[in-house]
Structure 1
Amino acid sequence: MNGFLAFVLLTMLRSLEMPLPSGARANQAAQATTSSSTTLSSTTSPRNQASTVSMDSSTSLEANPRRQLSYEEWIEQLGREAKAIAQQKPKRLTVLAGDSISLWFPVEMLPRERVWLNQAISGETSAGLLKRLDLFEETAPETIFVMIGINDVIRGVNDRTILANQQEIVRDLKESHPKAQIVLQSILPHAGDAATWEGRDRLLAIPNRRIQELNDELETIAREEGVYFLNLYPIFTDSAGDLRMEYSTDGLHLNPKGYEIWSVALQVYGHELLEPELQ
């Protein structure tokens, strides 16, 4: 990993207000380990097949074998993967929960010190994620990273509903995984006029200011619920507050460079805030 990039992100993340949950230290299981990174998709999983595809900034991640599965088939697949890993009981299990932005996180770019279970589905909404949290209910994750909401905004769901769903997701996870570190992540911006995504007109109808306001409310929810908040928004924006196209395939989804930025942010956040709480 580029050392300068890591330093810049560390400086940026330290400058942001990242509320720590009250009493978090007492609620964590001290299971820190130095095991190498593992991904928990089975070898026949469409996610593993796709993770070997070479991608660059001009390649849309939508052109991916994973799209061939229906929503119901994805739920079945994720359920099988979660069940398998629940039986294995790995140390440092970390869950990614969300939509296509989390789904397409390249396996090789995920922080290597953790064991990852990707429970994201393309096109997912906050309501959809809330309904399927029980898929990994039997697992024992150390950390759960949640990023959800952009598809709600695109589909016209009002902010009150989005925030209510997000709060219920957090509460459900707290009840099901009382020892887990729950990290609510900000919704990423879109690239505005520079976007080339097929639903560009819908993106242009959504001011990034609204996304930032939602993120402010998500931070409040995290603080009130005693969980963590990781604000990625400033890292990905340009001076106008839009998603930087050098980090994106189409103005909505991330390219490998964007995932590298996110990966470093996860590493920094984990090392600086999450891991100390486990000691």
Structure 2
Amino acid sequence: MSTHSKTFPTWAFLSLAANGLLVLAIALVLMRKYEWSMASPMIRSAAATRLSDPKSTDSATELGPRHQLNYQQWVELLGREADVAARQQPKHLLILAGDSLSLWFPIELLPPKRTWLNQGISGETSKGLLNRLDLFDKTQPEAIFVMIGINDLIREVTDETILANQRLIVRYLRRVHPQSKIIVQSILPHSARNATWEGRDRLLAIPNRRIRDLNERLRAIAKEENVIYLDLYPLFADADGNMKTELSSDGLHLNPQGYLVWRNALLVLDQFVLEPVALK
């Protein structure tokens, strides 16, 4: 189905933080007594770096050598995985494109009854992502989720450059995948002084208000380019606009509870915007 075939504009911004249905859905899930093993979140997330089919039996113990890949090796690996998806043409294919936040999305938390192709690379920037979008040119996804930008800010890339690259990313995806829904996701906040990430000083040089302003401009780009904007920022921000410490492992990256919040935003988006597949 074409991106433009909906009866409402696909650019229409769904304010997910203010959407009562989303808040209710997330609240209900978070109130349940989920028990997550915090001992090794990276190992539990490793399978998300591969083409994930519900019938897949890949072992997450392969994290070791994969975790030590350099950037070019990652690009080559993701290209091979995209080629597999292009050959198999799985039904209900969805793509995650971005940096480590996408890369480490636990496969067991990704919405089910979909086939997920994870094209995230740790440390990725908007320019890097733009330069490798052709890796999955031959795939036929129903939707492509993009989250990129925080590493640009850490590397002191200007807002104008980040936004220009975001616009080029969207235009490329719309041209190459005209039948796919394109979802631009907001840049998440960081935990400011509560962060324990090794690059904490670099985070402190990036006020979260700058990220909020950048997201507002990103929302405008999504509207202008006729794609969907998913505002995740309010779901992760505390009263001061910083990342909630209970949702992050180090003030920058997400822990399982953080991914649970993101998952439920995707579930609500799927129900109201993407083609329904009776997700549970």
Q: Same fold (TM over 0.5)?
A: yes
Matches within 5 A, 1:9-20: 11=20, 13=22
2:191 aligned partner? 191
* Distance (whole Å) between structure 2 residues aligned to residue 186 and residue 131 of structure 1: 20
1:213 aligned partner? 213
Conserved? CA contact 2:52–2:115, under 8 Å: no
- 1:40 deviates by 1.4
Between the two proteins, the alignment pairs up a number of residues equal to 234
Give unmatched runs, 5+ long, in structure 2: 1-16, 25-49
Residue 40 (structure 1) aligned with residue 54 (structure 2): no
* Distance (whole Å) between structure 2 residues aligned to residue 66 and residue 218 of structure 1: 32
Deviation digits for residues 56-103 of structure 1, max 9, x if unmatched? xxxxxxxx6543000000001000000011000111100000000000
Structure 1 residues 149 and 48 mapped into 2: Cα distance closer, same or farther (>3 Å)?
Answer: farther
Deviation digits for residues 121-140 of structure 1, max 9, x if unmatched? 00000000000000000000
* Distance (whole Å) between structure 2 residues aligned to residue 223 and residue 144 of structure 1: 16
* Distance (whole Å) between structure 1 residues aligned to residue 127 and residue 143 of structure 2: 21
2:170 aligned partner? 170
* Distance (whole Å) between structure 1 residues aligned to residue 131 and residue 241 of structure 2: 32
1:271 aligned partner? 271
* Distance (whole Å) between structure 2 residues aligned to residue 193 and residue 114 of structure 1: 38
| SS, match of residue 182 in structure 2 | strand
- 1:9 deviates by 8.8
2:62 aligned partner? 49
TM-score normalised by structure 2 residue count: 0.79
Letter of the aligned partner of 2:154 in structure 1? I
User: Alignment RMSD, CA only?
Assistant: 2.4
Structure 1 residues 73 and 45 mapped into 2: Cα distance closer, same or farther (>3 Å)?
Answer: farther
Matches within 5 A, 1:1-279: 11=20, 13=22, 40=51, 49-50=62-63, 66-275=66-275
Conserved? CA contact 1:47–1:66, under 8 Å: no
Please list every run of at least 4 consecutive aligned residues from structure 1 whose deviation after the TM superposition is greater than 2 angstroms. Answer: 12-15, 41-50, 64-67
Aligned-pair identity (%): 59
Conserved? CA contact 2:191–2:242, under 8 Å: yes
TM-score normalised by structure 1 residue count: 0.79
| SS, match of residue 178 in structure 2 | coil
Letter of the aligned partner of 1:120 in structure 2? G
2:42 aligned partner? none
* Distance (whole Å) between structure 2 residues aligned to residue 47 and residue 83 of structure 1: 21
Conserved? CA contact 1:10–1:268, under 8 Å: no
* Distance (whole Å) between structure 2 residues aligned to residue 172 and residue 48 of structure 1: 35
- 1:275 deviates by 2.4
Letter of the aligned partner of 2:51 in structure 1? L
Conserved? CA contact 1:45–1:77, under 8 Å: no
- 1:10 deviates by 5.8
Letter of the aligned partner of 1:103 in structure 2? L
